[in-house]
Structure 1
Amino acid sequence: MKKSAILLPAIVLVGAVLMSSVFIVDEREKALVLQFGQIKAVKEEPGLAFKIPLIQEVVRYDGRILSIDTDPIEVTPSDDRRLIVDAFARYRISDVVQFRQAVGLGGERAAESRLEGILNPQIRAVLGSEGVTSNTIISADRAELMARITAQARTRAAPLGLEVLDVRLKQTALPEQNLDATFARMRAEREREAADEIARGQEAASRVRATADRTVVELVSEATRDAEITRGEADAQRNAIFAEAFGADQEFFEFYRSLNAYQRALKSENSTMVLSPDSEFFDYLKSDQRPASDR
Structure 2
Amino acid sequence: MRKTTFLLPVLVIAIVVGLSSIFIVDEREKALVLQFGRVVTVKEEPGLGFKIPLIQEVVRYDDRILSIDVEPLEVTPLDDRRLVVDAFARYRISDVEQFRQAVGVGGIPVAEDRLDRILRAETREVLGSVSSKDILSSDRAALMLRIRNSAIAEARALGVDVIDVRLKATDLPQANLEATFARMQAEREREATDERARGNEAAQRVRAQADRTVVELVSEARREAEIIRGEADAERNAIFAEAFGRDPEFFEFYRSLTAYERALDGSNSSLVMSPDSEFFNFLKSSGGKAE
Q: Per the shorter chain, which TM-score range?
A: 0.5 to 0.7
Structure 2 residue aligned with 1:72 = 72
Structure 1 residue aligned with 2:142 = 144
1:181 Cα offset (Å): 3.0
Structure 1 residue aligned with 2:47 = 47
Distance 1:179 1:60 in 2: 46
How does 1:177-216 map onto structure 2 within 5 Å? 177-183=175-181
Distance 2:89 2:75 in 1: 18
Distance 2:144 2:186 in 1: 32
1:180 Cα offset (Å): 3.4
1:187 Cα offset (Å): 6.7
Distance 1:188 1:142 in 2: 32
Unmatched tracts of structure 2, length 5 or more: 193-291
Structure 2 residue 85 is matched with structure 1 residue 85: yes
Unmatched tracts of structure 1, length 5 or more: 195-295
Structure 1 residue aligned with 2:287 = none
| CA separation of 1:15 and 1:27: change in aligned 2, threshold 3 A | same
1:191 Cα offset (Å): 10
Structure 2 letter corresponding to 1:149? I
Structure 2 residue 166 is matched with structure 1 residue 168: yes
Identical-residue share of aligned pairs (%) = 68
1:97 Cα offset (Å): 0.8
Q: For residues 154-176 of structure 1, what are the alpha-carbon distances to aligned partners after superposition, in whole Å with 9 as ceiling and x for unaligned?
A: 11101110000000011111111
Distance 2:191 2:57 in 1: 71
Distance 2:36 2:178 in 1: 61
Structure 2 residue aligned with 1:287 = none
Distance 1:109 1:179 in 2: 34
Structure 2 residue aligned with 1:121 = 121
Structure 2 residue aligned with 1:241 = none
Structure 2 letter corresponding to 1:175? P
Structure 1 residue aligned with 2:110 = 110
Q: State TM-score, norm by structure 2.
A: 0.63
Distance 1:91 1:183 in 2: 38
Distance 2:14 2:4 in 1: 15
Structure 1 residue aligned with 2:22 = 22
Q: For residues 35-88 of structure 1, what are the alpha-carbon distances to aligned partners after superposition, in whole Å with 9 as ceiling and x for unaligned?
A: 111111000000001011111110000000000001111111111111111110
1:135 Cα offset (Å): 2.1
| CA separation of 1:189 and 1:139: change in aligned 2, threshold 3 A | farther
Give the counterpart of 1:134 among 129, 132, 135: 132
Structure 1 letter corresponding to 2:153? T
| CA separation of 1:133 and 1:190: change in aligned 2, threshold 3 A | farther
Structure 1 letter corresponding to 2:138? A
Structure 2 residue aligned with 1:60 = 60
Distance 1:125 1:193 in 2: 41
Distance 1:22 1:87 in 2: 42
Distance 1:41 1:85 in 2: 42
Distance 1:57 1:41 in 2: 10
Aligned length: 192
